[in-house]
């Protein structure tokens, strides 16, 4: 069952965890990034000016949430020892968060897709860490 | 690849979708519900009064987010025709959202687990709908 | 005096109230719904593009607040025993909250009026409950 | 009917209203102030430490909302010509908003009652203005 | 050094301070007011409709923050004894906060400049109080 | 005069600025960091349990704002060419934002002071950039 796999290692984990690690999962950033992508697609498919206006400010909020969720992963989940495993970590997050800024400014579908791709890169890095086994909820299948 | 599966049906879907369906995924509610569960566990494992205080108000916010994400699914994703497929839909959401209210009031791990279980029930219902294929990002494996 | 009537039953109520019932009043949802209606009216009366743009995103926020206030009533105020008195309760809230969603999408005054009407239906149900006497602040005159 | 009375003058009003007056009603501040009062009462009636902790930070939010709603009335609804009718207007709002600050700091029921009383004073002033007829939703009965 | 000057009087101050004075600084309102001004300037320099749309709702948020920061200064920092030193205090804040409302409605650079000017007036008054020495972080040079 | 110096280079700057640089100033992060420090100091000076409780969750919000303001500087203000001038830039922001996380967890005055010191380091770097002349509002004197 779905939840079993998630819950199984969690109880064991607490013994080894002296931090407030909480629950972390790039799924949160990805859902919002996918939302940005879909909004841009629908913007171009519509000629209703109210719809298009709403698309602009709703995407702004979604992209801001991507930024926020990425910041939480970068600052709270990742620890100094991860820099050895992923020397590019800071730059990856910088590019991903800057891409969220670009995603706000543009209605271009390609710009949104780039954000989705960078969130996927972050996701790949996250799931390669040992700690993700206990912190993450939606492991890639 | 992970994203391929998600992106594949999306473009096809737009042709059939005349609504602003956006992106919906119970993963958002589940991540927050898991966070409530972990916070309650850590609360009992700690005797630091500042930590325990913070656990109470951080869990309050997380449970509020569960409520919000469930509301979005119930009101925006589910449509009248789903009631035929799931006659219990309203009651399920009512119980799940009331469980989020209980999760705020209590530090009891069992109370948080009940919220996780109800969000999983919602998730199961969501992924049984035809529309989830295009709206969801984290299908169960 | 206005406040006397409100405060009078409150102190008595506490003896019978073992829940955290808080203060609940559909006035909160109604004020926001009325705001949506007025905004749509003014949108059509104006030809200032900045005003019209602002009307769209300010109405979006107001309608979101309607949704939030309705959710609080549905999940926190209403209890299982109310379902016997109002078997249609879940459906009424679903329609009212979906109407708030429609109110976001449309600048049509009729759509906003429908939201106001549904919030009034909710208000009528609320004030027919016994518990509203202690929880509510603005009883219908 | 309840809503009829509210809606009746509204349509007429628009002809005379060249401002963005929106909908204003002290009911919003009052519902939150009443909530602060009830929370303080329940705090003293409970000996559950989690309940008492939650009471403190939930009251903080409610009192902040009182402040916000009062600010909106003071800055957006009231106009320079009202100062002639109510020379004490600024001081009344200052005292009421400072009382909301006091309501945050204290669990004393008297302190919360003082906030309720000052919001009622604001409400009385509001409903004596000519403009309240079109802006307000919950006129005193 | 910059911080030394700020920190120096702070420790001394606590002995004389029996209130929760916190940290107050008109810099917070000014940064947001300057942001409104710049946004209006850039709005007129651009012919990108998405950029112009975003300018409208981003300025709305910035002006709302000006209002909020001014409210905090007026209600929390200033005390009755300041009214003797600044008899115009209430009116100054009323005009400044109303100017923030005007700044939302208009894309006119002059309207934004008026808000900046009024926030500077507030700043001047703030820094003339004795209490600002301990509460403020960015004293005028 | 204070504002003159700030406004002078701004108009000139627009000719050279093809980005949406907005207004950026580390003053925003510093005011919140100073607030965390003062809250911790007052926490230890008080034995009122309600005051102490409020100190914990108010500091939590202030530290979250520090994080947010630092994120905006790192992602929106700083550009790739700044990395040549400040090779340590990413690490500095990581440490400063992690310090904001530590500032949430602890009531220790030293921990808050460390956050203030790191925000000052960020501020020093910011004011060494050429772009700060046009973006910043509170230059060090």
What confidence category does residue E141 fall into, taking pLDDT thresholds of 50, 70 and 90? confident
What's the whole-number average pLDDT of chain A?
88
Q: Are B27 and B135 in contact (CB under 8 A)?
A: no
Q: Between residues B22 and E56, which one has the greater pLDDT?
A: E56
Instruction: Dump pLDDT digits (tens) for C71-96.
Output: 999 999 999 999 999 999 999 999 99
Assign domain E24-130 to a CATH class.
Answer: mainly alpha
Picking from D20, D75, D97, the nearest residue to E94 by CB comes out as D75
Whether the Cβ atoms of residue C42 and residue C55 lie closer than 8 Å to each other:
yes
* Contact C20/D at CB under 8 A: yes
Question: How high is the pLDDT of residue B86?
Answer: 98
Q: A57 or D16, which is more confident? A: A57
CB–CB contact C75 B20 (8 Å): no
Inter-chain CB proximity B50 and F104 less than 8 Å: no
**What CATH topology corresponds to B2-135?**
1.20.120
Fold of C23-133: 1.20.120
Decide if pLDDT at C39 tops 60.
yes
* A29 neighbors A74 (Cβ within 8 angstroms): no
Averaged pLDDT of chain B:
88
The span from the CA of C11 to the CA of A28, in Å, is 45
pLDDT at F14: 33
Which pLDDT does position F5 carry in this prediction?
43
Asked if C67 and B74 come within 8 Å (Cβ–Cβ), the reply is no
- Cβ atoms of F111 and F57 within 8 Å: the answer is no
Res. A21 pLDDT band, cuts 50 70 90: very low
Is the CB of residue B115 less than 8 Å from the CB of residue B63? Answer: yes
pLDDT in tens, chain D (141 residues): 444 444 443 333 333 333 364 899 999 999 999 999 999 999 999 999 999 999 999 999 999 999 999 999 999 999 999 999 999 999 999 999 999 999 999 999 999 999 999 999 999 999 999 999 999 999 998
Second-level CATH architecture of D24-131: Up-down Bundle (1.20)
pLDDT (tens digit per residue) in B99-127:
999 999 999 999 999 999 999 999 999 99
Comparing CA positions, the residue from C41, B77, C49, C56 lying closest to residue A58 is C56
- Is ipTM strictly over 0.90? no
pLDDT digit string, tens, across residues C57-68: 999 999 999 999
C22: region left, alpha or beta (phi > 0 left; psi from -120 to 50 alpha): left
> Average pLDDT of E55-63?
94
Among B75, B56, A99, C87, residue whose Cα is nearest residue D49: B56
Quote the pTM value: 0.89
pLDDT at residue number C8: 40
Domain F24-127 in this protein, CATH class = mainly alpha
Interchain CB contacts (distance < 8 Å): C and E: 15
Domain ranges of chain F: 24-127
* For range B46-68, the mean pLDDT: 95
Contact call for B and E: 3+ CB–CB distances under 8 Å: no
Rounded to the nearest integer, the mean pLDDT of chain F is 88
Question: Quick one: pLDDT band at residue B22, thresholds 50, 70, 90?
Answer: confident
pLDDT class of C9 with cuts at 50, 70, 90: very low
CA distance C92 to chain D (A): 18
In chain C, residues with a C-beta closer than 8 Å to the C-beta of B91 are: 90
Residue B59 confidence (pLDDT): 95
User: Does F44 contact chain A (CB < 8 Å)?
Assistant: no
- Tell me what pLDDT residue D20 has: 66
Those residues whose C-beta lies under 8 Å from the C-beta of residue D110, and which sit 6 or more positions away, are none
**Among A23, A3, A123, A22, residue whose Cα is nearest residue B31:** A23
Q: Which CATH number fits domain A24-133: 1.10.3720.10, 3.40.50.300, 1.20.120.400, 3.40.50.2000?
A: 1.20.120.400
């Amino acid at each position: 069952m779905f939840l079993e796999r998630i819950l199984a290692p969690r109880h064991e984990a607490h013994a080894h965890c002296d931090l407030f690690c909480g629950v972390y999962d790039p799924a949160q950033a990805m859902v919002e990034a996918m939302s940005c992508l879909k909004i841009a697609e629908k913007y171009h498919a519509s000629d209703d000016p109210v719809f298009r206006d709403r698309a602009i400010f709703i995407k702004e909020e979604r992209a801001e949430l991507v930024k926020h969720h990425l910041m939480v992963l970068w600052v709270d989940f990742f620890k100094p020892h991860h820099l050895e495993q992923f020397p590019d970590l800071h730059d990856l997050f910088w590019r991903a968060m800057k891409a969220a800024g670009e995603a706000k400014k543009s209605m271009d579908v390609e710009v949104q897709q780039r954000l989705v791709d960078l969130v996927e890169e972050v996701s790949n890095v996250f799931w390669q860490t040992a700690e993700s086994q206990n912190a993450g909820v939606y492991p890639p299948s």
